[in-house]
A and B are shown apart, each in its own frame.
Chain A
Amino acid sequence: MKTPYQTAPTRAFWARSVSRPAPSDIDPAAGASFQITPETKVGTAGSCFAQNIAKYMRRIGLTPFVTEPAHPTVAKLGEAFHYGVYSARYGNLYTARQAVQLFRRAFGTFTPAEAPWRNKAGAYVDPFRPLIPEGFASLREYERDREQHFAAVRKLFTELDVLVFTLGLTESWLALADGAVFPSCPGTAEGEWDPARYAFHNFTVAEVAADLDELVALMRSVNPNAKMMLTVSPVPLVATATQHHVLTATVYSKSVLRVAAQMAADAHEGVDYFHSYEIITGPHAPPEYYAADRRNVTDVAVGHVMRVFRKHYLGQLAEAPPAEAPAAPPAPADSATERARAAQDAICDEMYNDMELKPTPA
């Protein structure tokens, strides 16, 4: 009688699947429960790292499902005003709770008490999308934009085939009044810090798992056949609000997210966990997978992730070599300004947690 190890596939053995292959060939994915074709409506959401998915899809000729593009009249400015970064202009959804609340806000079952903020120029700022450039010129404009934004979110959840959702953080900031979760700490990117109104919360495994269960249930309540691909961002925290070292806090956060993602994938048909986190953070990963700040992920690393993604999820498209960016050496990050500039390739609320990295307004 053979032992279970004697019948296990190659991927089960470290020496054969991690030690020996070239680092760039390592493929920890064990299969996919669904496929993505050019006709598949792929929605994207999550932390800054999730922005890579839409960029990659465009690079290989696929069109991400975007329900809130810039109006054609201002289409040239779309990227500058954060259209097309994700499927709708919701900005970064670092936590599962944010995604759940976005759904509920769009479908009218949750109305946060938080009023719009005002920026230094007097414009109105959406507390849940604080990085929209220049904010809104009037309360009416803010309200009208939010209405059409919610309509775009409803369309997204109702019509998508696959939601690619990247979990980024467990540390979050919420309103004491009703638990509304913000993408960044009030008072960093925008808003004003007020300990009587806001509080820090570090989500537990149980909470994230429950939120993911709820997100799947909500999505399927309006779109029964919707699939989901969960990933965990390999990008460490900019800063922690806990008492721990930021490295320790990062490992806690990513561990929680990784476990919760697996729990969701195991619990729901049509929900996959995709291994971008392992590909970039595993011991095999060469130093050039991270930029010199050891936080930002390089194009080389993203290229590896996307090769594996293509192999497992793009079916016949896997044969077509994508026009990937050349494997450039990591950009030096020898100053805070350069690190901030590098990070701004992705639009990240979290950057504002570190004043040293706080982007300078253009």
Chain B
Amino acid sequence: MLLKFLGRKRSAEAARPSSPAETAQTGDLVVTERPKKKKVLVIGSSHIFALAFSIKTDDDSTHSYDFKNLGDFCPGSRIVIPVDGPMGEGELKSNLAEWLDQGGIGDVDYVLLTISGTDWQNFCLTNRTPRFDITLPFMPDLPSDKEARPIPYAEMHRQLELYIRHIVMGVPMIRARIPAHIPVGYIEPPPPIGDNDFIKAHAPYAAAEIEQHGVSPPALRMKMYQLHSHIVAEACRKAGVHFIRVPNSAKTPEGYLPPIGYKDDPIHANPDWGLLMIHELDRQLPTIGAA
């Protein structure tokens, strides 16, 4: 399924101020052409839906967004095989590689990725036994859980990096299969939900675990999310891929997902949040060039 949600043409569009280049004179008739929107293809898994469905209801976007759901032709978010293994050993799943090699992205101006993105929650949605905590060197002031066993940053960093090797290795593999003149970005996934009661009420798949172990402290989820972003951003930097962070407007002052962005599960954001991200993409895309 190709989710194609090009912005609908607005009646007010004709009244929008236009640049000289957009205007052509035909006798006495002045025709103002709508500026051609640059095409953006967003490739990803579940997080694309918040973005895609937001555009259904919003046509203010200054870019034309298409969405390619990896699940349609490359089931599972683990796009590198083998799924487990040391860093550096593996290859892109053949169906994705072939799709890219055959020009599946089409004639676009930008490619954005949002692959996986919630793997970090597998470590910390509920408390572990014994409870653990980490200290992020780049965000040292996040609250500590003094009763928890500390896991050194180096250990957790390597563990999570291995767990998301499909992103760390997959991003450069995808970048390498896209023409160099097309800029590629990676959209940071939605931040964690800070409300434990919401998680308890909206995670039926984890109900037994929540009942037994309880929901983890929000600060731990924030740390794991930030560590995830840190690892992915570094992989993107090395691959010449732009890491597009969630803007302040799309999170609470403490960095959590704002309640207006809550969906009906503890993992994904809703289209209202997606719209905030679309606005951010519109703002950032003109500033990013090809690697």
Contacts and interface: CB of A to CB of B under 8 A. Distances in A.
Nearest to B160: A74
Most buried by B among A133, A136, A138, A144: A144
Most buried by B among A73, A134, A135, A145: A73
B135 A137 contact: yes
B151 A133 contact: no
A71 interface: yes
A100 B175 CA distance: 56
A342 interface: no
Contacts of A76: 159, 162
B262 interface: no
Contacts of B153: 136-138, 141
Nearest to B129: A72
B128 A136 contact: no
Question: Does more than half of chain B's interface fall in helix, strand or loop, or is it mixed?
Answer: mixed
Contacts of A138: 135, 137, 140, 153
Given A74-B159, A77-B159, A137 B151 contact: no
B100 interface: no
A138 B151 CA distance: 12
B135 A144 contact: yes
A140 interface: yes
Interface string A133-159: 111111011001100100000000000
B164 to A, nearest CB: 14
Interface string B123-149: 100001110101111001000100001
Interface footprint category on A = 20 to 34
A81 B155 contact: yes
Contacts of A199: none
Interface in B144-182: 144, 149-156, 158-159, 162
Interface of B: 123, 128-130, 132, 134-137, 140, 144, 149-156, 158-159, 162
Interface of A: 70-74, 76-77, 80-81, 123, 132-138, 140-141, 144-145, 148
24 contacts: A72-B129, A73-B123, A73-B128, A74-B151, A74-B158, A76-B159, A77-B155, A80-B158, A81-B152, A81-B154, A123-B154, A133-B154, A134-B152, A135-B154, A137-B153, A137-B154, A138-B137, A138-B153, A140-B140, A140-B144, A141-B153, A144-B144, A145-B150, A145-B152
